[in-house]
A and B are shown apart, each in its own frame.
Chain A
């Protein structure tokens, strides 16, 4: 995917294969010889972690689907059968349910990293937009999956979220009936949600291929935000990035395992252990934690249609980020003011997340409105204006200059002659 391949087939069979299907060469140029900036920090390991989590979710999901029954009267019990009677079923299910959360933790870190270091800027706009599409697909998959255990939160969460579409004039109600396959969330809804929940991860995998392809065309951004200028600025993907990614992936797995083995129900909702009951509405209907900021935005706006528009807008606006940020400097490292607004934005998202879990009343609504204002203000006002008014710090001339300045005392000795 990056330039011509330097791959040399080692044995007869590989030579034979390479002349017919240069797949080994493709893998070699993409994941072995591929040059990565030498100054990438650990925030850059989350792309690899995300691919790993997608794999975990697909593998555990396929096995779970062998034991799960997508039928309204049997779904809840079939999940409990998995938990009780299927060999290591409890492990599969806790891996899958907590895996979804880990997937989102990783994607949020990955996105905030991109936003801090300006990874969406020219020439990485398409790469970024593919990422936004991946994020949307993940949200859809997560939502569909949460419906499957058919507990109270599954049922009522599905009811509330599909009802968003009823806000649209004229087409709203027929659209919701179409989505439900009936006049309320019921067995047809569960069936199609299961089908789509099985489908979308493979769509995600396909878009991931595009995402990685686009990445390998434009190359990775790096903490300085300046492009590698010479071979001095990069190291080959293998072993450097491979071993670094593997290390952080193992650390990430420790966190993952902590949740799976010690607090497996922490990220879930107790009400989802009550079988779905259309006649009883839970006191507070709360979506999963990773939707909470958007849920808070929805409820901050008193008009339903406008609320739904704000909800979709809050995600959709991400796609326009490359053009909303007018700064010529990519990395937040050299943007003192941006840095402060950025961290406020992170705090704002966390605050919205907390408010999303609170009942929409009194001071919570006021706080959610202030934060919603900042959320959109960050994209529509702060970023466009900062690019014009901010006085940025001087950029280093190259990645290796920045590394040299930071890592070793300068002038200790003259650079030795280069070999090769």
Chain B
């Protein structure tokens, strides 16, 4: 019997190891490099200056093709976000033309944006977006940072629970933004597609969106691809998870509460069970009623 078990475990181990070997084979797309983010970890917070820079990248570059449908102008002034003042957010909104109506004459009209408006999309519909982008549909960016990831593989995916690694999305976005390269000679690229090292299958519809110094940051930060890409990814993370700071702050309070509660309950349990453990020969139910009479 024992031998049978041994043989069986050996077969399992073999199957598992060959599975890993094969998995490594499949990894033609490299893993995006892991970056440092201010919002990572249990005490993570968004870096306001970074979000403001990222917003500028979004406004000047991404928003030409990508919508941000679920984000409102008022969100720019929300706590835990980019930290614009209400007046600044209002000014940003006013720069946009928003379609409204119908008015009293039954006609649609355009007006300047207000705080309550959502960011207006660059194209009136998906068909228009496709037609302007060689058939590819630029995805909405509202939850993009949570909708993109890459496979971590065994055993890393288990460690991620404990290290709280949740930033696969922004890491992937930065890798894509920086991942444009010359295609290998032997690769046949479909018309209108571009080679990207980190895109699954390597053929991506979006042409390289960033170039050095394309975006001039107001705070004097150099607008390298590296910087602009990272800032844009941080902004998209905020857009996808606007309550992250509140969540982690509340999380800390809940954790402290639960750890104290568990401690108190542990000692209560120890006290309550003390007599049962100390005098197991006693009748359990009676042990607490007359604890002093147990040994004499």
Contacts and interface: CB of A to CB of B under 8 A. Distances in A.
B16 A351 contact: yes
A250 B262 contact: yes
A262 to B, nearest CB: 5
Interface string A381-420: 0000000000000000000100110011000010110111
Contact of B285 (A236, A253, A344): A236
B147 A273 contact: yes
Nearest to B260: A250
Given A91-B250, A247-B266, A262-B251, A366 B15 contact: yes
A340 B123 CA distance: 63
A61 interface: no
A164 interface: no
Interface stretch (B47-55, B159-167, B205-213): B159-167
Nearest to A348: B12
Contacts of B154: 354
B247 A91 contact: yes
A227 interface: no
Interface in B124-160: 139, 142-144, 146-149, 154, 160
Contacts of B189: none
A100 B283 CA distance: 40
Given A233-B284, A257-B258, A262-B164, A370 B247 contact: no
Contacts of A233: 284
A344 B5 contact: yes
A270 B169 contact: yes
Contact of B16 (A84, A262, A344, A367): A367
Q: Is the interface of A mostly helix, strand, loop or mixed?
A: helix
B143 A38 contact: no
Interface in A319-369: 337, 340-341, 344, 347, 351, 354, 358, 362-364, 366-367
Interface string B70-114: 100001000000000000000000000000000000000000000
B295 A413 contact: yes
Contacts of A273: 143-144, 146-147, 240
Given A91-B247, A265-B146, A367-B16, A38 B255 contact: no
B8 A344 contact: yes
Contacts of A178: none
A80 B70 contact: yes
Interface string B184-221: 00000000000000001000000000000000000000
Q: Is the interface of B mostly helix, strand, loop or mixed?
A: helix
Contacts of B148: 270
A271 interface: yes
Contacts of A38: 276, 280, 284
A94 B243 CA distance: 12
A254 interface: yes
A41 B215 CA distance: 62
A239 interface: yes
B258 A231 contact: no
Contact of A263 (B19, B139, B161): B161
A242 to B, nearest CB: 9
Interface stretch (B59-67, B174-182, B226-234, B286-294): B286-294
A420 B286 contact: yes
Contacts of B277: 407
A232 interface: yes
Contacts of B254: 257, 261
A274 B139 CA distance: 9
Given A236-B285, A246-B265, A416-B295, A344 B9 contact: yes
Contacts of A77: 70
A56 to B, nearest CB: 14
A251 B262 CA distance: 6
Given A367-B16, A418-B283, A243 B265 contact: yes
A177 interface: no
A403 B142 contact: no
Nearest to B149: A270
27 contacts: A84-B242, A94-B247, A231-B283, A231-B285, A231-B286, A232-B282, A234-B285, A235-B285, A236-B284, A240-B284, A243-B265, A243-B269, A243-B272, A243-B273, A258-B255, A261-B255, A262-B248, A263-B160, A263-B164, A273-B146, A354-B154, A363-B19, A367-B16, A367-B19, A370-B15, A416-B282, A420-B290
Minimum-distance CB pairs A-B, first 7: A261-B251, A273-B147, A235-B284, A247-B265, A270-B149, A367-B15, A250-B262
Given A340-B5, A407-B280, A416-B279, 13 more contacts: A247-B268, A250-B265, A257-B255, A261-B254, A262-B164, A270-B147, A283-B200, A367-B12, A370-B12, A370-B15, A415-B281, A418-B283, A419-B290
